[in-house]
Structure 1
């Protein structure tokens, strides 16, 4: 902005200047020039130019005092880029820690669920341990107390006495009791309940005697000892088909290495279906 110089007005009156800064009306015109100001950064702080009077046009004319300069406007502070980088680094670190904690919690939850499922499976296996044969227990690596029991069924392939039994197939099983030489071998002494059932049937009635015997043997004692016996005669009449069932069961104290066997009067009259002829024991 260029400085303006006053013009002479008829009647020796000066042109009016800025309010409060010009000469009086009865004084001659004076020169006006701009005051240098500090540079303005990015046009953020703007204020109008201030003029002060250099003097009057005529020498010896009194001048009004100049206006004081305003204080300089302080520059706006800028955030350093380093602080922004530090804040971003801290934010990334916090986010990473939160994600790590979340994944750790999920992993612990999965491990806990797996551990609980394993405990449930162990409880189920322990509940059914009484019905698991020794061979299956060896495969699964379980070392649990086995309930000593056995149940064997009729075997139609036999030809002589004592009766031969089926120890594995169908309803048959052995647990802590061995099936050996057509008998059940006791490996632990104790109180046992022994039972046996045989179904006799024929196509013609005759007067022969039917017998059903359970006996035991032990290497420490010679011979055999009868535990239970059933004998019957006159069990049929006429010349028609007949059937008769014989059941034996009682409680005995058995020793280690006792072997129990079953005899009948005639193998040809025995029905060897597994639900009709069977033999077994269990420890109390």
Structure 2
């Protein structure tokens, strides 16, 4: 909108000689509308650019979302694995080893001892070695040492017990040899009595004439470079060496 104003004339001049000059006067709101329109156009252009970018990245975002869900499902499945905790701890360790036990009483050439296997079932070795059925310590430091022996014992019935036939208690031990102590020493050991209902009902169960029991050993020790560790177990013929039942391992802290 344009307004016009009349310029003042010379008062001494006659009315007939007075001239009128029209001066254009711009509206004060016109520049505000121009600025607002410019900002609106810029905002629309920016919105269009962002919308195009979102459509281009939508498939990638969907793929990433699917990958995240798959990883979450995999992580949930792994946590149900009974060996998940051991693998998680060992993955952060400088050295670790986990061995599965094996014993074949029908093999005449085998030694009369529990044989430890690497690369079988859940067994693995990382920085620690199995040599001559013993674990060698590579470096001085703190280590968590653990082992479990599972037994399935055939007990005598009451008549045999009265006749004096009783089963020998089960035992499992971890030995250490170190030059620093000048010989071998027992790290851990435990003994279990079997075929006695009053002593076994709490931590084992009976199936017919068989008793099932486990001995678990585990603790932290300061070990030196070159130390060796091995186990000693009695009643080898009664051992249950199915996967995950009898094992021996060490990992650095």
What secondary structure sits across from 2:237 in the alignment?
helix
Alignment partner, residue 186 of structure 2:
226
Whether 2:103 is the aligned partner of 1:156: answer yes
1:255 matched to 2:202? The reply is: no
Q: Which structure is larger by alpha-carbon Rg, 1 or 2?
A: 1
Equivalent runs, 1:161-172 vs 2, <5 Å: 161-172=112-123
Change (3 A) 1:150 1:268: same
Could you say which residue in structure 1 is the equivalent of 2:142?
Answer: 191
Q: Residues 242, 234 of structure 1: CA spacing in aligned structure 2 closer, same or farther, 3 A cutoff?
A: closer
1:161/1:263 contact within 8 Å kept: no
In 1, are the aligned partners of 2:93 and 2:252 still within 8 Å (CA)?
Answer: no
2: CA distance between counterparts of 1:222 and 1:155?
A: 30
CA contact (8 A) 1:162 1:182 kept: no
C-alpha spacing 1:222/1:230, structure 2 compared with 1 (3 Å): same
1:63-100 alpha-carbon deviations (Å, 9 max, x no partner): xxxxxxxxxxxxxxxxxxxxxxxxxxxxxxxxxxxxxx
Answering whether residue 133 of structure 2 is matched by residue 182 of structure 1, we say yes
**What CA distance in whole angstroms lies between the structure 2 residues aligned with 1:172 and 1:276?**
12
Q: What residue number does 1:209 align with? A: 169
| Contact 2:93/2:251 (<8 A) preserved | no
CA distance in 2, matches of 1:279, 1:151: 6
The within-5 A match list for 1:131-142 is none
2:235 matches 1:266: yes
Counterpart CA distance in 2 for 1:274 and 1:218 is 31
**Alpha-carbon distance in 2 for matches of 1:262, 1:213:** 6
Deviations 1:15-36 (A, max 9, x none): xxxxxxxxxxxxxxxxxxxxxx
Q: Give the unaligned 5+ runs of structure 2.
A: 1-86, 157-165, 198-205
The 1:234/1:242 distance shift into structure 2, 3 A limit, reads: closer
Shift of 1:269: 1.1
Aligned with 1:245 (options 214, 219, 225): 214
Q: Distance in 1 between matches of 2:181 and 2:98?
A: 26
What do the CA deviations read for 1:135-181 (whole angstroms, capped 9, x no partner)? xxxxxxxxxx9720000001234743542111112211100001011
Where do 5+ consecutive residues of structure 1 fail to align? 1-130, 132-144
1:147 aligns with 2:94: yes
- Relative to structure 1, is the Cα distance of residues 280 and 203 closer, same or farther in structure 2, using a 3 angstrom cutoff? same
- Map 1:61-140; keep pairs closer than 5 Å: none
Bigger RCO (CA 8 Å, 6+ sep): 2
Shift of 1:234: 4.3
